[in-house]
A and B are shown apart, each in its own frame.
Chain A
Amino acid sequence: METKAETAKETGEDVFEKIYRQNVRSVYYYALRMLGDPSAAEDATHDVFLKAYKNFDRFRNESSPRTWLYRITINHCNNLLKSKVRHYTIELNETDIGQLSDSFDSPLKVVENKDLGEIMQKTLDKLPPEYKAILLLSADENLSYSEIARLTSQTVDAVRGKLHRARKLFIYHFKQANL
């Protein structure tokens, strides 16, 4: 017969496993596109969830598992990226960016036998990390603008503005990469 303690323990681990299954894709994908390497993304995802497990008690105060895990993932990826010195040359100045469209003029077509993953990584790597991060977070339908703002330590208006510019740059580079 199970003791109360054994039941509670099992419930806690079951909860954590459920959180893992529900969120691992989001964490892994964010790490993959930010770090640009599947092996590094796998390591990062493992480290994120291990840290989450060790600090599971602290989660009780967070709004949702998703935002809590994103916070850990963002900090982890930022620390890894800091160690890589990379210079981003934005090929377009602010005036040029302003003239770009922030939406596809017509539905953008991608031939499915092309490696979309490769095109996506090339496109996202053309963006400054801050823009890349905001786009990836924005694509997660479970995150609101205010949550993205909290995760990236800026105001909602700043998020909207950067998202607007990030979309323009993404479309420009995506079309170049998809030629």
Chain B
Amino acid sequence: MKEELRKNAGEETQVNLNQVASQARTECQFNTVEDVIRYDAATVVVPETIYRRLEKSISQEKSVQPFWKRWFKRL
């Protein structure tokens, strides 16, 4: 399992993310494809509306459960 989790080691380029700042602009450097994807994933903003919608859906889900299911869950 540990060997599998270390899939990048020994097979692919070492993962390093270096940030080079210049006076005019900021650049990011990536050594592997997975580097780029992880960086992109980290910068994506997850809409908070998902949580609010989910809360609402779950409460609706609970209200349509048959009474016996709600009752047994409380035991």
Contacts and interface: CB of A to CB of B under 8 A. Distances in A.
B7 A145 contact: yes
Given A42-B50, A49-B54, A144-B4, A139 B30 contact: no
Contacts of B43: 116-117
Contact of B75 (A5, A104, A135): A5
A147 B4 CA distance: 9
Contact of B33 (A25, A53, A107, A170): A170
B38 A139 contact: yes
Contact of A167 (B33, B51, B73): B33
Interface string A23-43: 011101100100000100010
Q: Is the interface of A mostly helix, strand, loop or mixed?
A: helix
A24 B45 CA distance: 11
A18 interface: no
B9 to A, nearest CB: 12
B26 interface: yes
B5 A107 contact: no
A146 interface: yes
A50 B57 contact: yes
A139 to B, nearest CB: 4
A67 interface: no
Nearest to B49: A42
Given A24-B50, A144-B4, A120 B40 contact: yes
Interface residues of A, number: 44
A45 B49 CA distance: 11
Contacts of A135: 33-34, 37
A112 interface: yes
Contact of A107 (B1, B30, B39, B46): B30
Contacts of B51: 20, 24
10 contacts: A5-B74, A9-B73, A28-B50, A104-B30, A109-B29, A117-B40, A139-B41, A144-B5, A147-B4, A167-B33
Given A5-B74, A53-B58, A104-B32, 6 more contacts: A45-B46, A108-B36, A109-B29, A113-B26, A120-B36, A135-B33
Interface of A: 5-6, 9, 20, 24-26, 28-29, 32, 38, 42, 45-46, 49-50, 53-54, 103-104, 107-113, 116-117, 120, 135-136, 138-139, 141, 144-147, 166-167, 170-171, 174
